[in-house]
Chains A and B, each alone.
Chain A
Amino acid sequence: MRDETQAIEGGAWVFGDNVDTGYIMPSKYASLPDEELGAHAMEGIDPNFPKNVQAGDVIVGGRNFGCGSSRETAPRGIKRAGVGAVIARTFARNFFRNSLCIGLPVLICADAESIEQGDRVRVDPIAGRVENLTKGQTLQAEPLPDHIMDMVKAGGLVPYLKQTLT
């Protein structure tokens, strides 16, 4: 699990609109165990991504990021690849919910597209803040409802359910 005390900081990988989960995690990897998913993250759109991504890097999408199939292997693969957070103008709802459930920070940012490939970015998911260190800009993400923030703070749905149900 992500260490909440550590800021997420890394390089930005910028993708466009309507990035389908079929590109984020191609169907052919659907039966791979979790540990092996990271090696194929984003492969359907950028085969070099898994080789070059660094821990803490941030994915930046346009509109409707993660559309298509509701496969949870998409955010799981991204998380396993070491990506610290995903920022997009808008997300497809399945991808958004799945990410929050598995503890991958996702931030809805109206100005996401001001971030360019390779920009150095620092993300604080609890404050909903995205700092573009390269450009010296700070972006504010759309706030999330309280009960979702509780889940984000807990690190995902399962730890949250453990706290509240058992």
Chain B
Amino acid sequence: MSGDTATQKILARASGRERVDVGDIVWAKVDAHVMHDNQGPFRMGKDFAELGLPIWNKDRFMLTADHHNPPTGDSQSKVLNVTRAWAAEQELSHFYDAEGICHILMAEKGFVRPGVLVTGTDSHTTNTGALGALGVAIGPTESIGVLAKGEVWLRVPETIRVQFKGRVPAGIYGKDMALLALKDLKVDGAEYKVLQFEGEALMALSVEDRMTLSNMAAEFSAKSSIIDVDEATAEYLKNAGVEDGWEAVRSDEDATYAASYEYDVTDLSPQVACPHRMDNVYPVEEVDSPPLQRAHIGSCTGAKLLDLQAAAAVLKGRRVAHGLQLLIAPASKDIMSKAMADGTLGALIDAGGVLLPTTCGVCAGRGPGQLGDGEMCISSANRNYKGRMGSAEASIYLASAATVAASAVKGRVADPREFI
């Protein structure tokens, strides 16, 4: 008998079984659950009320108001007010109103522990993989089942192994690695499967930057993602208030994988996803873009402290190009205050950056800064299909925050290595 993947072990544990096989369907206990305003009370509040059941565990449930916050009109205000009223009515202990983007808050507030199962009403719930947890997306209606029972049914998925080897060169980030793999595996490359990211180059990244990969597992259509736990993870968890009560879960040496991919990043160039697909990826030197009107450093993927710092390193003492607007939306208030304290935010603003709220905003196609017809944007977010950030007639390039910053200076897609 061959060994088990980390995913098999997590699901065996969560379902109270000795072991599980790929293809088994299990009822698994959820360790933590998150719901946001866009896929929350506005869609499921009435149905949940009809069931008349209490929330299974309020200490392990987080509700965020991040997608429609602050609202830009009547319909968004309605969603937000329904969300707030529901949080009050349910007497939630963890409701975060414009404090940050759900996936980042889940990690920051210690809701994610290695070896556990997490569910969330958002496709990027895969973000938990960087902390060694299995995060799976569900919808708001299914969320009713989790809130009522603390359980979810899952099919035990196969795992795809993606190894990053070599030394990470200057100017290269988790985003470049994610895009490199996406180019190869494509947007449907991990359908119904878990992406296990590993290798010395990956583990050389900070935990925040590993999150860029686990987050973007969603762009490969993966069910979830998983990354090994090391000392850096333990340190991150400690800062989030998770000192003990967790045990790392690792894939066995002889575990079976659906596929394996290997990349050496030693000579990797910054990668750019060109319009209008996430897997339409080229090295930056091969991208000859038209002039850009917008650069965006934001979202749960690309506005963590390390992203803001990487952008600031490029922008410090420089100005964004004439005719281009740079938008900055830190992924949480905690990140924003740290970036304020260490001068990062100042450097970005001095360079011409416009500061936006610590919520989804443009990434969700909402709030100020949405793209108009014909506009060209480069963003550190995760999706670039038509209409994602406003007009369906706009075009979006995706890259690391450093590449976004370099492009903001040049007014066209540009290589950050020239600036560092």
A69 to B51, CA, bound (A): 27
Please indicate the chain B residues that have their CB under 8 angstroms from the CB of A34 in the complex. 43
Please indicate the chain A residues that have their CB under 8 angstroms from the CB of B51 in the complex. 158, 161-162, 165-166
B interface size (C-beta, 8 A): 47
Decide: B50 and A70 in contact? CB cutoff 8 A.
Answer: no
B67 within 8 Å of A by Cβ?
yes
A92 to B386, CA, bound (A): 19
Decide: A69 and B123 in contact? CB cutoff 8 A.
Answer: yes
Known: A44-B392, A161-B148. A31 touches B75 (CB 8 A): yes
A interface size (C-beta, 8 A): 40
A22, A26, A32, A64: the one within 8 Å of B221 (CB): A64
Decide: A94 and B123 in contact? CB cutoff 8 A.
Answer: yes
Contact with A along B27-70 (1 / 0, CB 8 A): 00000000000110011000100111100000000000001100
B103 within 8 Å of A by Cβ?
no
Please indicate the chain A residues that have their CB under 8 angstroms from the CB of B386 in the complex. 22-23, 44
Stretch with Cβ within 8 A of A (4 or more), from B6-14, B84-92, B138-146: B138-146
Decide: A26 and B153 in contact? CB cutoff 8 A.
Answer: no
Please indicate the chain B residues that have their CB under 8 angstroms from the CB of A93 in the complex. 191-192, 221, 223
Measured between C-beta atoms, what is the minimum distance from A2 to chain B in Å? 15
Please indicate the chain B residues that have their CB under 8 angstroms from the CB of A92 in the complex. 191, 221
Decide: A165 and B39 in contact? CB cutoff 8 A.
Answer: no
Stretch with Cβ within 8 A of B (4 or more), from A6-14, A51-59, A95-103, A130-138: A95-103
- Using CB atoms, name the residue of chain A closest to B72: A31
A87 within 8 Å of B by Cβ?
no
Please indicate the chain A residues that have their CB under 8 angstroms from the CB of B366 in the complex. 27-28, 30
A124 within 8 Å of B by Cβ?
no
A70 to B52, CA, bound (A): 26
Decide: B68 and A30 in contact? CB cutoff 8 A.
Answer: yes
Measured between C-beta atoms, what is the minimum distance from A51 to chain B in Å? 17
Decide: B188 and A98 in contact? CB cutoff 8 A.
Answer: no
CB-defined A-B contacts under 8 Å, sample of 23: A17-B188, A22-B385, A22-B386, A27-B365, A27-B387, A30-B364, A31-B38, A31-B68, A31-B79, A32-B75, A44-B387, A63-B188, A64-B188, A64-B221, A67-B191, A70-B137, A76-B43, A93-B221, A94-B123, A102-B139, A145-B25, A157-B142, A161-B144
Which residue numbers of A lie inside 8 Å of B, CB to CB? 17-18, 20, 22-23, 26-28, 30-32, 34, 44, 63-64, 67-73, 76, 90, 92-94, 97-98, 101-102, 145, 147, 156-158, 161-162, 165-166
